[in-house]
Structure 1
Amino acid sequence: MPERIVLTGAAGGMGRLMRPRLARPGRSLRLVDIAPLAPPDPDEDVDTVQASVADLPAMERACEGADALIHLGGLSTEGPWEQILETNIHGTYVVLEAARRSGVPRVILASSSHAVGFHPRQASEVPDYLFPRPDTFYGVSKAAGEALGSLYHDRYGLDVICLRIGACREKPSLPRQLATWLSPDDGARLLEAALTAPAPGFRVAWGVSANTRRWFSLAEAHELGYRPRDDAEQYAAGLDGEPADGLDNVYLGGTFCSPELDAEITP
């Protein structure tokens, strides 16, 4: 089991959910975010680093002595190209390069279904390794992150696992999330599988719970050792009466494929 883990984006939505769930006896966490982080409790084996993921010297220092890095940092929705390029694409390069220079053997990258968002919805299960077809600049950044991960595995021998994460939150809030939900507990189970799988090489796996209405294959995640336990169906009664956006039935990216989310007109 990795003893020291670097977690970027620790102040973000998923980062806050994963922090307590990743804690283990004998494991230390190094939390990184550009936003201020709450100081750890005295009994926590945690230290914090306030820095941008695009700052290579800071990320090299954060990676010192680490056994693995989980990269959740970056913009989590659409934005202007310049911001997506700097934070999401350049930031992912910096994270991988810092890991390489510091001798961190394993990096887990948070990818997204929006890397393949313009693929049409299909009746059959969406396969692992679906070819990139991004729906936004944000989706492009996730496809670029997967490509960088592949390069850093093939060229430098890093183990890199890209997790195409669905909607990781306490509970689903939209009808579409009955298919795409990743419960926080299952999110932690998925990360533990990615951290401990022996010699994974380069992998791309879907990150969703065992949802009754699940769209995505879990075959590759199962190969890593992921065993989800939660199902969004328990929340269906509160969401089935709500209208789903028409795009949810057309594209995997749903509303991210809408003209209204064009980066040129997004505030």
Structure 2
Amino acid sequence: MIWEHPPHSIERKLLIARDYVTRHGHLAPRWAEHHQGLHLGRWLADRRKEVTTRRLPYCYQRALNEIYPWWNAKGEADWKRTYARAHTAARDNTLIFPDPHQLTGTAPPLTHWLAKQIDNLTRLEPYQHHLLGDLPIEHPLALLLRRPRSASQWAFARGLQAAYAYRRRHHHLDVPYNYTCEDGPEFGLGSGSPKNGAPRKPSPGNNWTPWKPSTCAGPHATGTAQPEPPCAPADHRSTPAS
């Protein structure tokens, strides 16, 4: 015989929290939200206060972490709710990845939200970046969402993000020499300094096509310039730095 937990027991409330995650994909309800007769939003707010004051027993913290690891993580609750919707849409193949051109008013709200996350990757909490990387998106530029691990991956990711932002703002990748990114020091988006005073090779135009890093043998470096994007067509490469 299976005995049910008493209605007011924390075990029963943990079961309600688990059911909420199953239905909604997150455990970030609004404060006034109820679920299965439990004022779940207020109950979770009280548990977070108990964690802050170290009054919540570790066994209950661990149980909540198993249900939803980010229930007490930093960041706005609305971000977690929106991410859950984006994850569901990506799983259903209805999430449109923001291509590197300026978004129009007809783009879906989740596409706008995802573009905003790409623009602010360096300002996200680490767990948020990891969650974005877990979105099941089949797109060449989904690499932007993956959180780098090594120093070389971070360097390439920063360059890729800068190129993506430049393409969206200017509709091309004919980046001027010594172009300075808005969020940091000079970054080697433009071609290297002209060799022996020769003019810089013009870019192939605005017909930029994203590459697929998964088909590459590895990054390529030219002289002292920044590593160029993997698998870039030969006619898209800039003149090596001297």
**TM-based fold match above 0.5:** no
* Greater relative CO (CA pairs within 8 A, separation 6+): 1
> Which protein has the larger Cα radius of gyration, Structure 1 or Structure 2?
2
Structure showing the higher helix proportion among its residues: 2
Which TM-score applies when normalising by structure 1?
0.27
Which TM-score applies when normalising by structure 2?
0.29
Structure showing the higher strand proportion among its residues: 1
